[in-house]
A and B are shown apart, each in its own frame.
Chain A
Amino acid sequence: MRTSIAAKILFASFIALALFLMVLPTLIVFPMSVGTSNYLEFPPKGFTLDWFVAYFGDEEWMGATWFSLKVACATTLAATAIGTMASIALVRGRLPGKSLIYALTLSPMIIPHIVIAVALYLFFAPLRLTGNFYGFLIAHTLLAVPFVVLTVSAALQRFDPMLELAAQSCGANSIQTFYHVMLPGIVPGVAAGAVFAFLTSFDEATVAFFISGLEGKTITRKMFEDIDFNLTPIIAAVSTVIVGASLLLMTAVHFLQNRQRG
């Protein structure tokens, strides 16, 4: 009995340590962002909000942030619409070779992003689509749609097809059926897909690294450059802002998924 208690304590400490190490890198950016030192000191000394002021006052940082937000919002709209349509066709439609199309649909998630990044770079460069809003829109929508298809088709599979037949027997055409009956039923799945699409775009770094330009540059590319060549605590301030926003989104998705199950 004693050994089992000792083993339990040992196991619990291991888990606690592992979990601590898992969240440490996320949490560490908060103190880093308010330290006064210019170097990467830990623990940081003093307290200042200068790095946030610097971030919000820097034209290049703001430019990259807005560009990322713009791309992410447009990607969310495009990917949610395209992905929802595709899910309906894949779950409810009459298509030959559905499983092949499904595998193809998910492939951008599995294929190494470096391959997509380099391929798109070589494809976009001669078309002047690098550093271009539409170039990013194409690339990020491609990467985001699989997530939308995953969440929306899961929601569709749970959705009772009899309700659609019922709507049609009430005189609704396909569009009315979708809008009045199907959409309200799968909206938590669509919303979760939209959040994933937003994050996929906003957080995407590999493809963004290659298809950014001097003008059109995402915040991830800007962070990469600064971490590599010009590491200042502004990075910590930026990280704090991003982590704060992500945690908010994570909570939102958590509630969305709970609502869908409930």
Chain B
Amino acid sequence: MGQSVEIKDVWKSFGGFDAVRSATVKIQAGEFLSLLGPSGSGKSTLLMMVAGFLQPTSGKILIGDEDVTAVPANRRGIGMVFQKYALFPHMTVFENIAFPLKMRKLRRSEIESRVGQALDLVKLRDLGSRLPIQLSGGQQQRVAVARALVFEPPVLLMDEPLGALDKKLREEMQFEIKNLQQSLGVTMVYVTHDQEEALTMSDRVAVMNHGEMQQIADPKTLYREPGSPFVADFVGKMNLIEVTYVDQTASGALLKTAGGNRFSIQNLAVSTPDPERPMKIAARPETIALSRRNETSGTLLEGTIHQCVFMGSMTMVQVIVGPEDEVVYVQTEADASYKPGEVAYLEFDGSRTSLFAHGPDEN
């Protein structure tokens, strides 16, 4: 069974550069937590500290109730799957999986039965005598998972484990890894820069940027209520439009784009109605309604159709608003037929649109 992992105010700096800043999170036993963020955001560094390969500059790491900050990697008993699998090239699949058990000095017969079980678990029963180079990428990935699981670690770490696989295989493996994790009840810390992967697999996602954990939340909350423009932009497709607040009217909050276009949004929560302050609204493409005529009582945002992209189950329409060629993505039914150059109106759903004050720390 899994054990909880607690990261308490962990910092890591490399010669004055803070790669991880004050990371704090408590991962419950059996929970699947993803670290999501762009390249260089400090995900691997944080994971390496949990694994014990890197020493935090300050802060504590607890597994269960035990402070393991000073425990070396080989005695933390944590399983780990590396991005390029890191299978030992000179050992067979069997020997690779047996390695952690050999290090724990288990009896030969015990090792054999447990490696057999692990091979069954990842559906590689007949490949025990192969060398890693004789396996496909997906098979190597499974061996790496089996090796990390065979000694029944309470915690499993994975650093972009599917990064080297093609899309179809990746989706298949996401499913299998998630199933394995759930059936074994092991606590998982999973690093990825792929937001879709994080959303589909995780119980909770910690979004990292510039070494900071920006938001820790379950996928739904993260998607619907992003805590910062960065999270909003990074998770899912998101339109971010610079606006200033004008007034509260009968048809909702009246806003003005940078280009001077006025439009109103019903039911938009405005915490600081300050006309001086530049702000950003964040709206997902599926929450915006597109129409040819301005028929509602309120003022809709006017735009010009730029392009329509048919995507199977729907069509993504790119609408230019304002003089700066700012593009807003709107999701419509699959057979919507807008022509480039046509004028159209955007209607925002206030309950599914967020408003952020223009802070200094965003991009």
Contacts and interface: CB of A to CB of B under 8 A. Distances in A.
Direct chain A–B contact by Cβ atoms under 8 Å: yes
Interface of A: 160, 162-163, 165-173, 176-177, 180-181, 184-185
Nearest to B73: A168
A184 B90 contact: yes
Interface residues of B, number: 26
B79 A171 contact: no
Contact of A165 (B53, B79, B90, B103): B53
B362 to A, nearest CB: 34
Given A167-B99, A168-B53, A180-B99, A173 B90 contact: no
A165 B75 contact: no
A168 B74 contact: yes
B74 A169 contact: yes
Which of A160, A171, A185 has most chain B Cβ within 10 Å? A171
B180 interface: no
Nearest to B76: A169
A52 B335 CA distance: 96
A162 B88 CA distance: 10
Contacts, number: 62
Contacts of B234: none
A51 to B, nearest CB: 47
Given A162-B82, A165-B86, A170 B147 contact: yes
B86 A171 contact: no
Contacts of B86: 160, 162-163, 165-166
B151 interface: yes
A180 B74 CA distance: 14
A167 B88 contact: yes
Contacts of A170: 74, 99-100, 103, 147, 151
B80 interface: yes
A188 B84 CA distance: 23
Nearest to B74: A168
B144 to A, nearest CB: 8
Nearest to A183: B90
Nearest to A162: B86
A169 B88 contact: no
21 contacts: A162-B84, A163-B86, A166-B80, A166-B86, A166-B88, A167-B99, A168-B53, A168-B73, A168-B74, A169-B51, A169-B79, A169-B148, A170-B74, A170-B151, A171-B74, A172-B74, A172-B103, A173-B74, A176-B103, A177-B74, A181-B88
